[in-house]
Structure 1
Amino acid sequence: MIKNKLSVTLALLMPLTSFAAETINSAPEVLKVTSSADDGSAGTLRWALEKNNQNAGHYRIELQSPDNQPLVIKPVKPLPEILGPVDIINLDWQKNGKYAAIDGSGYIKGSEPQSCPGAVSGQYGANVRTTTMPGLVLRDTHDVTLQGIEVRNFCIGILINRAKNNVIEDSRIVGNHGGAGIMMTGDDGKGNSTATTTERNKIIRNTFINNGDAMEATRGASFNLIAENFITTDDVNNKEPSQGLEMLWGNDNEVLHNHFENYSDGVQLNWGNRNYIAGNTFTNLSSAVTLSGTGNIVDSNIMTGNRVAVSVRPQGEPGKNGAFGINRITGPAVNRITANIMVDNGKPVKRCFAGGSCLDGFAGAIVFNVPGLEHAAFTGNRGGGISNDTSKLEKICAIDGPSADCEKTPNKDQQAPAITRVSRSQNALTIDGQVKGEANTLYRVEFFSNSKSTQDEAENYLGYQMVPINAKGQGVIHDQINVAADLQVANVTSTATTSDGATSTLSKPVALK
């Protein structure tokens, strides 16, 4: 009996012992990069990448300067594409915050947009389709982590192409003047989208400086997280300050707690659906957020000092083929704009590189019908080598006049509510008004206050009321909202949002009585 018990015990222990040994042996072998050379010798980044790619998943790559000076690597030709899983970590950043730099000036000559050709002959720069001359490439792979790296002076800093579960964190992306600082794309090599290939990547806590586009999530890039990044540029060192983040046919991405400044657009959505843009700050942009597509949510952002806070673009009907070979499949834009702080916009920021708002009169908090580069009415730079023949571009009904093929006002042309009276009693505001909308539906009416009588935007978010719309398409607003005793309220504005998420522009401000 004892023997049988002992046999059972040994049988149970043996797999555990074997598993423990296997676990210990599976710890990755460390490849140390300490040389700035690019000759492929031991200790160079090229050597480490080539060795890793022979047995991906077996190694960890650690960069560290041998002399307390920041490690600067200038490749003389393209580096090998990175195969995962692998962590590439700069130990100097973990210890003292110094980045290890990978600098493209070793073989990419010139910082002009023309030095970065597009996929189509004759096109160039940040505003055209391209995967040209990247610094680091993650293609058809997964589970690569980069930390503490500065990638600079390439046409694309980091290219994530048909790759999943990668993390770019605590790094700095500088002066990549072609496609983007970081480009996430499902591009199949022919400009088509690929579904489920570019998902669950994380771009977090990075600094982006003077890139053409700071980031892109395009052609099927979905379910990615872009969070806590600082994105900036200037008009001197960046010849094409286009987008902080462009999402073209990118769906279900989350853009959270980033700071965007000085670009044509902070976030530009082109026919992307169900993206969530929340808790970001936007300043000194021609358009803080530009929307087309449907089901996108712009929630609880702070937008100050821009020309337009939220530009809502029209788009073609389902199946309509527009300019630039774009096949519309989502129908008119229906997007939710909720609880954002929008103040001191309408500034003369006319920076329009494939985006922004430079057409006279299109400025303010929430503006419908802002033309994009596919529209004949667009004023600005459509991209290097792209035709500006407006006869082949799309028309907007509200700008170009009604016609059979013009694009209708987005967000169902939902009209703003009409606030008729605002009164205050101690710490409560009473708001009355009306809203017109779709019969027999429930609307969300949001209220905002401004501290000065000259303001007409949304300085403070007060709250909301759910308002039923009757069979005649009319709803009655009557709400009492508690406010802080020290909140200065000069007037109140509001928006109306349909049951399926189409938000109006802001209503005319109504002063307290």
Structure 2
Amino acid sequence: MRCRLSVVSLSLLAVLPSLALAYQAEPPRHALQVLHVDRYADDAAPGSLRWAINTANQGAGRYRIEIAAVGHAPYVIRPATPLPEIVGPVQIVGTPWAGEGKYVAIDGSAYVTGTGTDACPGAEPGQSGTNVRTTTLPGLVLRDTRGVELSGLEIRNFCIGVLINRSSHSDIHDNRIVANKGGAGIMLTGDDGKGQSTATTTVHNRIVRNQFVDNGDGLELTRGAAWNLVADNLFQSTAANPEPSQGIEILWGNDNTVVRNRFVDYSDGLQINWGNRNYIAANTFTGNSIGLSITGSDNVVDGNTITGNGIGIAVRPQPVSAPNRFSANQMVGNGLPIERCEAGGACVTGQRRGAIVFGVPGLEHAVFVGSRGRGVEGDPAKRARICAGADSEGCQPPPNLGQAAPVLQTVQGKGSARSVRGVVQGVPGQRYLLEVFGNRAANGSDAERLLGSTEAVTDAQGQGHFALTLPATPDIATLTATATSALGATSPLSAPLSLR
């Protein structure tokens, strides 16, 4: 058999020898040269951190900076002035972490002066703290670079602990980020320097296995930050935090993955502001005024444990209602009177609380009660109104496309033949996913345990009837359910149906 090759194949064969030579000519990769930091004085002399960063910046990709234990713990470097911006690729490692489980601290208190949030000015005169636009007084700066690895460090007492600005493919892991009172403990932002977003500049960074304690915002993904991974971190606020805002804020950030983190005692554990397609899964939220506060579109909140918050999931109105999906989350013990409202939270008098609540105001709304940021005033007349009742002019419509909760009607049968029946109201001729949850409390209205799911197709009047066979669950006292449309808009929980 004769083999016939196309012109393209012949062209590829013609260049293969030169490609092979080019590959063979590539110089071998050398091991990274280690720069040893064994002096904590901030004098730029050899052995200091400032010297090591300056040296590594002159040969990006060639160095690993190892910061040794000097003297007895605690190990603390106090820069007297801002450190040089870091040029990657480079590794910066606090070596005591691997051997002793202790961090090397980089402490900003020598030049970040002032009391609390007043020490951290915003971009606008008179504004300060976390909830204002700022990139002021950061500790470590990664700007317009890539491939930086930071580990074994405690970064504390700056306005921003680590600023990752228009930088990608960096790995921030196994650090402790503490008491940074300005923008965030770690800020990933595509900010162009004028407050505008830049796309595809702050992508594919990994923030994993860090402890964030008493930062205003633990972490921010803002102004175009996309395709970043945030996993296995602790975000915690204590009574020492002067502005306990958000564990994570996603502001105009898209396609980020936030998984297996813990969020404790913030105004909002996680707040999404007009971000799209972010995946929030397998996290734990507890003790927050709001566990998750959401605007934007096509965000997925899946398989999280949301317990002991004021509101579990708050879905805020926005100018154009858009779908967000909530699936298989364990929600129990929410509805607590936690009023912590730093640019978030739920402090409006009479605010409804519980597992999933639609229409909760944020700081962009006129009826919001709480701090909008230190020194933030604005024109009250320009703040958004939330539509109520028949009022639909000049106001923001119900969130999540106004998807109504299903109605659980009856439980029939016994034992393994027991089933629940109900109805969902929606768009005619559409398919809906129903998730049914069980609660142990006699009047339980949360979503303590997912019992199963089924589908319903609506008729010409928009009604869809469904039935689900229930597993054997003798400890379950009530049932609740959510409905999710084909567009991915999930409803609040239904009213509970008693099994007893």
Q: What's the TM-score, normalizing by structure 2?
A: 0.93
Per the TM alignment, residue 482 of structure 1 is displaced from its structure 2 partner at its CA by 2.5
Deviations 1:449-485 (A, max 9, x none): 00111211111111210111112201111111334x5
The residue that corresponds to 2:362 in the other structure is 372
May I ask how many residue pairs the two structures share in their alignment? 482
Per the TM alignment, residue 18 of structure 1 is displaced from its structure 2 partner at its CA by 7.1
The residue that corresponds to 2:479 in the other structure is 492
Per the TM alignment, residue 68 of structure 1 is displaced from its structure 2 partner at its CA by 4.7
1:264 aligns with 2:267: yes
CA contact (8 A) 2:40 2:70 kept: no
Distance 1:225 1:16, change over 3 A: closer
The residue that corresponds to 1:445 in the other structure is 434
Deviations 1:253-288 (A, max 9, x none): 001000001100011000000001000000111110
The residue that corresponds to 1:174 in the other structure is 178
Distance 1:16 1:244, change over 3 A: closer
The residue that corresponds to 2:28 in the other structure is 23
1:310 aligns with 2:313: yes
The residue that corresponds to 1:6 in the other structure is none
Once residues 417 and 107 of structure 2 are traced to their aligned partners in structure 1, the CA distance between those partners, rounded to angstroms, is: 58
Q: Give secondary structure in 2 for the equivalent of 1:260.
A: strand
1:354 aligns with 2:357: no
The residue that corresponds to 1:327 in the other structure is none
Equivalent residues in 2 for 1:294-333, closer than 5 Å: 294-316=297-319, 331-333=320-322
Of residues 468-477 and 160-169 in structure 1, the stretch that sits farther from structure 2 once superposed is 468-477
CA contact (8 A) 2:452 2:468 kept: no
Q: In the alignment, which of 58, 65, 79 is matched to residue 69 of structure 2?
A: 65
Distance 1:14 1:441, change over 3 A: closer
The residue that corresponds to 1:282 in the other structure is 285
CA contact (8 A) 2:443 2:496 kept: no
CA contact (8 A) 1:111 1:177 kept: no
Deviations 1:17-39 (A, max 9, x none): 976xx435x21110011111100
1:74 aligns with 2:78: yes
1:417 aligns with 2:406: yes
Once residues 428 and 346 of structure 1 are traced to their aligned partners in structure 2, the CA distance between those partners, rounded to angstroms, is: 34
Per the TM alignment, residue 414 of structure 1 is displaced from its structure 2 partner at its CA by 1.0
Letter in 2 for 1:488: D
Deviations 1:124-152 (A, max 9, x none): 11000000000000000001000111000
1:211 aligns with 2:215: yes
Q: Give secondary structure in 1 for the equivalent of 2:490.
A: coil
Once residues 133 and 406 of structure 2 are traced to their aligned partners in structure 1, the CA distance between those partners, rounded to angstroms, is: 41
The residue that corresponds to 1:324 in the other structure is none
1:193 aligns with 2:193: no
Once residues 120 and 68 of structure 2 are traced to their aligned partners in structure 1, the CA distance between those partners, rounded to angstroms, is: 31
Per the TM alignment, residue 398 of structure 1 is displaced from its structure 2 partner at its CA by 2.3
Letter in 2 for 1:338: S
Q: In the alignment, which of 25, 49, 68 is matched to residue 53 of structure 2?
A: 49
Equivalent residues in 2 for 1:113-192, closer than 5 Å: 113-192=117-196
Identity rate, percent: 51
Runs of 4+ off more than 6 Å? 13-19
- Aligned residues: CA RMSD: 1.9
Per the TM alignment, residue 427 of structure 1 is displaced from its structure 2 partner at its CA by 4.6
Once residues 238 and 466 of structure 1 are traced to their aligned partners in structure 2, the CA distance between those partners, rounded to angstroms, is: 46
The residue that corresponds to 2:385 in the other structure is 395
CA contact (8 A) 1:90 1:147 kept: yes
Deviations 1:194-225 (A, max 9, x none): 00000011110000110010000000000000
Q: Which runs of 5+ in 2 are unaligned?
A: 1-19
CA contact (8 A) 1:422 1:492 kept: no
The residue that corresponds to 1:501 in the other structure is 488
CA contact (8 A) 2:35 2:64 kept: yes
Q: Give secondary structure in 2 for the equivalent of 1:292.
A: strand
Of residues 428-437 and 268-277 in structure 1, the stretch that sits farther from structure 2 once superposed is 428-437
Letter in 2 for 1:379: V
Per the TM alignment, residue 429 of structure 1 is displaced from its structure 2 partner at its CA by 4.1
Q: Give secondary structure in 1 for the equivalent of 2:248.
A: strand
Distance 1:424 1:265, change over 3 A: farther
Q: Which runs of 5+ in 1 are unaligned?
A: 1-12, 317-330
Letter in 2 for 1:23: P
The residue that corresponds to 1:511 in the other structure is 498
Q: In the alignment, which of 324, 333, 338 is matched to residue 344 of structure 1?
A: 333
Q: In the alignment, which of 44, 66, 89 is matched to residue 93 of structure 2?
A: 89
Once residues 17 and 224 of structure 1 are traced to their aligned partners in structure 2, the CA distance between those partners, rounded to angstroms, is: 35
Per the TM alignment, residue 75 of structure 1 is displaced from its structure 2 partner at its CA by 0.3
The residue that corresponds to 2:447 in the other structure is 458
Q: Give secondary structure in 1 for the equivalent of 2:325.
A: strand
Per the TM alignment, residue 412 of structure 1 is displaced from its structure 2 partner at its CA by 1.4
Distance 1:162 1:18, change over 3 A: closer
Once residues 347 and 16 of structure 1 are traced to their aligned partners in structure 2, the CA distance between those partners, rounded to angstroms, is: 63
Letter in 1 for 2:492: T
The residue that corresponds to 1:252 in the other structure is 255
The residue that corresponds to 2:324 in the other structure is 335
Letter in 1 for 2:168: K
Once residues 428 and 181 of structure 1 are traced to their aligned partners in structure 2, the CA distance between those partners, rounded to angstroms, is: 53
